[in-house]
Amino acid sequence: MRIAVCDDDPQEQVQFLNALWGWDPSRVAERFSTGAALLEAARMSPPFSIVFLDIYLPGEDGMEVARELRKISPDTGLVFVTTSKEHAVQAFSLDALHYLVKPVTTEEITEAFRRLSQLRTKRRATLTLTVGRESHAIYQDEIMYLQSLNHAVEVALVGGRVLKVWSPLGELERKLEGSFLKINRGTIANMEHIQQMGIDTCTMRDGVRLVLTVRDRKAIRAAYNDYLFSQLSNK
């Protein structure tokens, strides 16, 4: 488990470590004084399990650091640590686990890890995509479909955003979980976002029509029907 604390005050870092060791003396936390250093470390593998982030960082916007961290590692548990409750509403808009007012106590850290444990039981699958020189970690349930075009793969997301990645479709397919269905040689659709399944095409929720491969149309429709039945059975 990778734990991080980002605070520009060395004394606050030490106080945090003492509180952390009150919960579990064996734990090690990586310490950062700037958001930039934290984000650089967040790009390394494995991702941070949990980050304790001071909102007030000299010369930096702690909320913006949090937003960038969400892009890099959406499954990382995020705990804001600050001297005031001023940004509490903003914090929870970023799906923060907890919002702690200094000084941080062992009891509060224990609660943060309890919430992290709960989060893991309902974790959403992610997919990390390299777009240009940047890595983007996205939730798989926000992918509508993936389509090979001109030696690249376009990943269409909910809300109209499209990411273009230079990676073989088969490589991405192996990383997908759950409700994805290959409907032709160059297209994978997320069945969760299919609005209508026709005889030779399927219509996605954004209105895009995708063609079913001729040879496997019957099997594709059967797989989609099985998916719908499983969804109804789980309600």
AA letter at 180: F
Q: Are residues 110 and 175 in the same domain?
A: no
Q: Cα angle vertex 39, ends 21, 97, to 5°?
A: 55
Look up the CATH number of the domain holding residue 69: 3.40.50.2300
- What mean pLDDT comes out for the span 136-149? 91
Q: Are residues 116 and 10 in the same domain?
A: yes
| pLDDT single digits (tens) 161-190 | 999 999 999 999 999 988 999 999 999 999
Residue 235 confidence class, pLDDT cut points 50, 70, 90 = very low
Q: Which residue has the tokens 């160059």?
A: 186
d(C-alpha 143, C-alpha 75), whole Å: 16
Q: What confidence score (pLDDT) does residue 123 get?
A: 63
Residue 234 pLDDT greater than 80, yes or no:
no
| pLDDT single digits (tens) 45-76 | 788 999 999 988 889 888 899 989 988 888 88
Domain stops at, among 102, 121, 140: 121
Q: Which residue has the tokens 């690249």?
A: 152
Residue 139 pLDDT greater than 90, yes or no:
no
Q: Are residues 33 and 46 in the same domain?
A: yes
Q: What confidence score (pLDDT) does residue 75 get?
A: 81
CB 64 within 8 A of CB 91: no
Domain stops at, among 121, 151, 175: 121
- What mean pLDDT comes out for the span 203-221? 94
Number of helices (H) and strands (E) in the chain: give both, helices first.
7, 17
Q: Are residues 22 and 131 in the same domain?
A: no
Residue 222 pLDDT greater than 90, yes or no:
yes
Q: Are residues 95 and 174 in the same domain?
A: no
Q: Which residue segment(s) compose the domain that 135 sits in?
A: 126-233
Q: What confidence score (pLDDT) does residue 132 get?
A: 84
Residue 126 confidence class, pLDDT cut points 50, 70, 90 = confident
| pLDDT single digits (tens) 5-35 | 999 999 999 999 999 999 999 999 999 999 9
Nearest to 31 by CA among 53, 58, 61: 53
Q: Are residues 191 and 212 in the same domain?
A: yes
Q: Are residues 114 and 141 in the same domain?
A: no
Q: Are residues 116 and 32 in the same domain?
A: yes
Question: What percent of the chain has a predicted confidence (pLDDT) above 70?
Answer: 92
- Cα 15 from chain centroid (whole Å): 30
Q: Are residues 77 and 185 in the same domain?
A: no
Q: What confidence score (pLDDT) does residue 190 get?
A: 96
Q: Are residues 10 and 90 in the same domain?
A: yes
Domain count, the chain: 2
Q: Are residues 204 and 135 in the same domain?
A: yes
d(C-alpha 134, C-alpha 81), whole Å: 28
Q: Are residues 133 and 114 in the same domain?
A: no
Pairing of strands 162-165, 152-157: antiparallel
Domain stops at, among 121, 145, 170: 121
d(C-alpha 228, C-alpha 225), whole Å: 5
Look up the CATH number of the domain holding residue 207: 2.40.50.1020
| pLDDT single digits (tens) 95-123 | 788 888 889 999 999 999 988 887 766 56
